[in-house]
Chain A
Amino acid sequence: MRKRTVYLDHNATTPLHPEVKKTLIKSMKAFGNPSSLHKFGREARALVEKAREEIASFIGAQHEEIIFVGSGSEANNSVVNILYCPAWKGCVGQGGLAKKRRIITTKIEHPCVLESVACVEAAGIGVTYLEVDGYGKIKLEQFKEELGKGDVALVSVMMANNEIGTIQDIKGICEITHQHGALFHTDAVQAVGKLPVDVAELGVDYLSFSAHKIYGPKGIGCLYIRKGAPFCPFIRGGHQERGRRAGTENTLGIIGFAKAIQMRRLEMQAETRRLLSLKKRLRDGIVKNIADVSFNGHPEDSLAGTLNVSFAAAEGEAILLYLDMEGIAVSTGSACASGSLEPSHVLLAAGTPQEKAHGSIRISMGRDTTKDDMDYVIGRLTGVIRKVRGISSVQGDAKYE
């Protein structure tokens, strides 16, 4: 097959949907500050509020229950920050919660949750990191036990994992959380627009998501805050977003976000089915052509377009860069690629041995991915793994325990 360009890193980010691009170009003239009272401001305000309706209704929220933020990371930081805020008692106004000084999260969260949690931990708030099983699902027994201690203010569990794709039972986890009187947040950055998400049905108090993972622009995220749930602004100094997030609105970003959501309404369902069949094709092709492979993540409860695979005796960054030369873009859980010395914390938490984690790559497909792409990847990947293993000092599966 002739050399082609295949982008398979959609969990990192996605290209703009052509319709989003069109909408953005058309909207470029809306430069007014939505807070201004004059015509320019009012026009921008109208666009922002229309977009807010579109996005809120997509997740089953009221328009006043969502705030626009700069990214999924900011949304997640903002929620964890509620516990840290020195003005916690006054600001949040929920009597009793102030005495609860512990947060429960998981070992497989995105670094933006793990690091903001580590920050509140340094400020004296207790943190429990839940273990996950071999598929990356949290262990409910441990979870209930921890909640039972009664001092938990907030639980934060991601809906779908960015590296291995595993989807948690958020509704169930949220129910248990509420039975113990704690608040519940979910990082749904990899989920909204890929899975049906309805905040009312899930019962969550906070939910984070982002535009650029679903063919929208970068630099715009969204945080759902259930009406009545305590909140304390992370960025202060403005009345925007009803005083919950200061800063002039990213009007274009918001408009693009709403268009991306609108397109998700139309495309998500059929795309999910298509991606599942592409993933099966790819997985079968890998198994058929390459020996000593193992797959990471849950076999069923997993994002349709995410496949994480480990190759014995081959290191991930080398695989990634040889694939890059073939025009194929993937990511890896190997330490080398991340600039740290530890391989993926998600794979390690799921009990993957270090040497398998170093040899893992994540293939994340999207709306442009085709069958031909999959066949091309199977062919080139087979060659690349043969090459890496040919150079490798580790022979086959011999050194795997």
Chain B
Amino acid sequence: MNEDWLYSDKVKDHFMHPRNVLFNEEGFRPDGRGVIGNIKCGDEMVVLIKVDKVKGVITDCKWKTYGCASAIASTSVLSELAIGKTLDEAYKLSSRDIAVALGGLPEHKIHCSVLGDKALRAAIDDYYISHGMGDKVKKEREHIICKCLGITDAEIENAVLEGARTYIQLQERTKIGTVCGECKEKSIKLMEEYKAKHFPPK
């Protein structure tokens, strides 16, 4: 561990000098807005985008985050990654992309604090819906089940495909429901559905 700092230098830089923070909420008119997380779980973020409607390119991205150093740094770096990207490109940004751009993050931090990509997708969807392009919202769009950690139904499905059969196994793979536990019932129901879908009883 670096004796000067807990995380990478890149994280330090973005933590100490966060980019594109939304300081003037009144003066910024976003084309799309996405919120993810919950302060009860320790992290919450808001991502706002402005879009060049002709080119379909994100021209500006502002954010606010309640959370730890890596939550702040990861939203900051996400805003840099998003600006200049087409909506399709931006939609594909993952938490891994954010971690890489930050020069690495501890594994447990990726699960709990890197939620910006999900907030960005929510902002893009919001843009599509509010600009009469609701059909562009991905049909198989992921739904967030665990609000604390931003874990989606698609991740539950993946975990089932990778072998999770019990709630404990699902938690081991995804960390779902390990904070407030509110989503337990819902995620078990989904897990059972995916089990039935992919591994029907013979």
Contacts and interface: CB of A to CB of B under 8 A. Distances in A.
User: Are the chains A and B members of one assembly?
Assistant: yes
Interface of A: 313-318, 321, 325, 334-337, 339, 341-343, 353-355, 358, 390-394, 399
A321 B39 CA distance: 19
Given A318-B68, A336-B109, A336-B112, 17 more contacts: A315-B67, A316-B68, A317-B69, A321-B69, A334-B68, A336-B68, A336-B113, A337-B68, A341-B42, A341-B149, A354-B39, A391-B65, A392-B65, A393-B44, A393-B65, A394-B44, A394-B66
B40 interface: yes
B42 A336 contact: yes
A358 B180 CA distance: 13
Nearest to B18: A391
B178 A393 contact: no
A399 B68 contact: no
A316 B69 CA distance: 9
Contacts of A315: 42-43, 66-68, 71
A242 to B, nearest CB: 41
Contacts of A355: 39-40
Interface of B: 6, 15-16, 18, 21, 23, 35, 39-46, 64-72, 108-109, 112-113, 148-149, 175, 178-180
B72 A358 contact: no
A173 B25 CA distance: 54
Contact of B69 (A318, A342, A390, A393): A318
5 contacts: A315-B68, A334-B68, A336-B68, A354-B40, A393-B35
A325 B42 contact: no
A315 B178 CA distance: 19
B66 A336 contact: no
Contact of A321 (B15, B21, B109): B15
B contact face: mostly helix, strand, loop, or mixed: mixed
Q: Which 7 A-B pairs have the closest CB atoms?
A: A336-B68, A317-B68, A393-B64, A354-B40, A355-B39, A392-B66, A393-B46
Contacts of B113: 336
B179 A321 contact: no
Contacts of A335: 42, 112, 179
Given A315-B67, A392-B66, A394-B66, A358 B112 contact: no
Interface centre among A325, A355, A393 (most CB of B within 10 A): A393
Contacts of A339: 108
A390 B148 CA distance: 22
A391 to B, nearest CB: 5
Contacts of B41: 341, 354
Contacts of A391: 18, 21, 64-65, 72
Nearest to B76: A391
A318 B44 contact: no
A337 B43 CA distance: 13
Contacts of A318: 15, 67-69, 71-72
Interface centre among B15, B42, B65, B180 (most CB of A within 10 A): B42
